């Protein structure tokens, strides 16, 4: 009985040792956060109500992620917008408009479509990730739809 107890204890100690070595290796070899991830963290801190001294909120730094809706000025539209976390929402407005996208970090996907609410004019939609234009589309059809996806 004593021998089984000793072997069991050695096994547990060995398992704990392997786990500790594994966690240390992960901590040492983990890649540092990218600039994009750091900007997202800054945005999250900003969104949580943290303010700069003097009571003013922090201005976003660096490029942003957004849909840009342009075309014939003033025409109404409705967009189905997917943020990087997969959450879908509807945004109604008039041209021109920038629609912010949330959570567009590493591995994010975003499928978006905008429809003209009338027959006249042109509707152009572009998606910007990290301040860089990734895709664009346009329509001049009556009640036409323009879709943009990321990644393409």
Q: What is the residue-level pLDDT of the chain in tens, covering all 152 positions?
A: 778 877 877 888 888 888 888 777 776 776 666 777 777 777 776 665 544 444 333 344 335 899 999 999 999 999 999 998 899 999 999 999 999 999 888 888 999 999 999 889 999 999 999 899 999 999 999 999 999 999 87
Number of domains the chain is built from: 1
Q: What is the pTM of this model?
A: 0.59
> In the chain, how many H helices and how many E strands?
2, 8
In a domain, 86, yes or no: yes
In a domain, 50, yes or no: no
Strand partners, 136: 126
In a domain, 100, yes or no: yes
Q: How far apart are CA 121 and CA 140, in angstroms?
A: 6
In a domain, 117, yes or no: yes
Query: Looking at residue 47, what is its pLDDT?
Result: 62
CA 22 and chain centroid, separation? 30
Query: Looking at residue 7, what is its pLDDT?
Result: 81
In a domain, 21, yes or no: no
In a domain, 76, yes or no: yes
- Per the structure, the complete domain to which residue 77 belongs is given by 66-150
Q: Are 118 and 95 in contact (CB under 8 A)?
A: no
In a domain, 112, yes or no: yes
């Amino acid at each position: 009985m004593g021998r089984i107890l000793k072997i069991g204890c050695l096994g547990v100690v060995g398992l704990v040792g392997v786990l500790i070595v594994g966690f240390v290796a992960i901590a040492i070899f983990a890649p540092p956060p990218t600039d994009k991830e750091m900007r997202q963290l800054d945005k999250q801190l900003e969104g949580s109500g943290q303010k700069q001294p003097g009571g003013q909120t922090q201005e976003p730094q660096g490029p942003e992620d957004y849909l840009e809706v342009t075309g014939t000025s003033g025409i109404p539209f409705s967009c189905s917008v997917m943020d990087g976390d997969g959450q879908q929402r509807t945004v109604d407005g008039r041209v021109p408009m920038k629609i912010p996208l949330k959570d567009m970090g590493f591995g994010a996907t975003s499928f978006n479509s905008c429809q003209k609410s009338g027959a006249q004019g042109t509707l152009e939609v572009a998606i910007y990730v990290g301040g860089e234009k990734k895709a664009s589309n346009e329509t001049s059809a009556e009640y036409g739809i323009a879709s943009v996806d990321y990644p393409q």
